[in-house]
Chains A and B, each alone.
Chain A
């Protein structure tokens, strides 16, 4: 079977800092392959290791050196082909545009039996791209997989949603989105990393794929300060007194 995995170069939001005026310092923020995307790739490579998948193509949208780097990382993990869809400012693409690029690529170079994505990007975490790709391709969606298994042309996932656990099964082709709980992505060996450096990266563009894209119109983006009271109560020495203070405050708030 043939597997396509879409990965995003994401900001490591735990390391995001802001200017005094609230502007995010994005240039200074490290970027990595999305955590859940990496788990999606790991699932694909596991299928290859098990002899179930022959081809694992990894696609990313962007044109920077860092986009190249995550594709090389994907090779080091075991991808068989890497593709860069060249867009200068991929972060400004709308979710629908990203989905159109992925689905156009899948249609042009497919058919793929399985299309895997992370269940949400590490930074924007919209979780809508996978479902959109499924719709655009007209194939079943199995989303938020904490576990994935592929057997006899069918794929089954286990997904934890708000109201409980779901087991979804469908025939392939299908789109599956994978959470960061699904697995522990492998750490490539030095040998795999060195080998990956020589592997080719295919390039294409949204125009070549015939994907209609549009930019999302972001008017402003600033640090968000949650409107909280931030009253500190020191309980390092006198716990009794601190707890009394807390209970009194909660009574005054009318929440206990």
Chain B
């Protein structure tokens, strides 16, 4: 079987993309996270671990390109995240591969890859033929994580060539749980009027043992948080997502499509978020959320 190269710096992505890769060929992992390399090397046929001190996309893409050439691979899979898109674009440009993003399924046919992908802010689904040399960025939640170890893959350590970009990194300051790893996420939108009102969002999140976050305007325009949920920010796939006072702009909802259950609380019955929700609570968030908190506390005491 021809090798399919998976790029991942996270365990969960490595397991999701492994499921996708298994349907296309022989899965080979490329990662610069030692932890991920060690944890997943037993699941992949081969694992390349790149030693690097910083995330310089050009240097990492250069190392990936060398691996693609060494493996003579023609299919590359990436997470559909900001970083994944960057590395996919750089690597594809250098190799002359096409790059397809926002994919939800990839199938190999006699005429090359056939990809189903979201477009127009997730409002439409397109079926495209991607040829036989392509990078595909896959949306979180499209494939289930592979759990069982399947192979006794070898672990190859390589060095990245020094890049020409200086990188300074400051980890995301996180109050509480990381939304990308939480089972429950509570999101606040513009319906939340004051920064102080985020307290009830945080309280609800902590009652459910989950994380909280906001939409882009609350983070980028008002500065109430360091990160936001959406296609340009955090892409999440919790079991439960509660969208509070969020209208449902496509760039936000694209970031939560992977959630198993979505609850929306909004007083505008025509808000697009209700189209994206399993349970749509029509009502004033300032009345609904306090009651929800009260009832959940009662439930906890029972």
Interfacial residues, chain A to chain B (CB-CB below 8 A) = 11, 13-14, 16, 18, 24, 94-96, 99, 119-120, 123-136, 140-144, 146, 160-171, 179-181, 216-224, 226, 228-236, 239-240, 242-244, 246-247, 249-250, 253, 255-256
Contacts and interface: CB of A to CB of B under 8 A. Distances in A.
B58 A179 contact: no
Nearest to A120: B232
B239 interface: yes
B121 A246 contact: no
B82 A161 contact: yes
Given A120-B232, A232-B274, 13 more contacts: A124-B119, A126-B102, A128-B85, A135-B92, A136-B93, A141-B86, A170-B166, A222-B125, A223-B123, A229-B279, A236-B283, A243-B281, A247-B292
B89 A250 contact: no
Interface of B is mostly: mixed
A57 to B, nearest CB: 21
Interface in B54-76: 55-58, 61
Contacts of A229: 278-279
Given A233-B279, A246-B263, A16 B123 contact: yes
Interface in B270-302: 274-284, 287-288, 291-292, 295-296, 299
Given A162-B180, A220-B126, A224-B122, A242 B55 contact: no
B136 to A, nearest CB: 11
17 contacts: A119-B232, A135-B89, A136-B93, A140-B165, A164-B171, A169-B166, A170-B164, A219-B114, A220-B126, A224-B122, A234-B282, A234-B283, A236-B267, A242-B283, A243-B291, A250-B279, A256-B208
Interface of A is mostly: mixed
Contacts of A243: 281, 288, 291-292, 295
A131 B101 contact: no
Sorting the interface of chain B by its residue count into under 10, 10 to 19, 20 to 34 or 35 or more gives 35 or more
B41 interface: no
Contact of A247 (B119, B227, B295): B295
Contact of A131 (B93, B183, B283): B93
Contact of B279 (A126, A239, A246): A246
Interface string B132-161: 000101000000000000000000000000
Nearest to B267: A236
Contacts of B260: 253, 255
A239 B291 contact: yes
Given A123-B121, A124-B119, A230-B280, A140 B263 contact: no
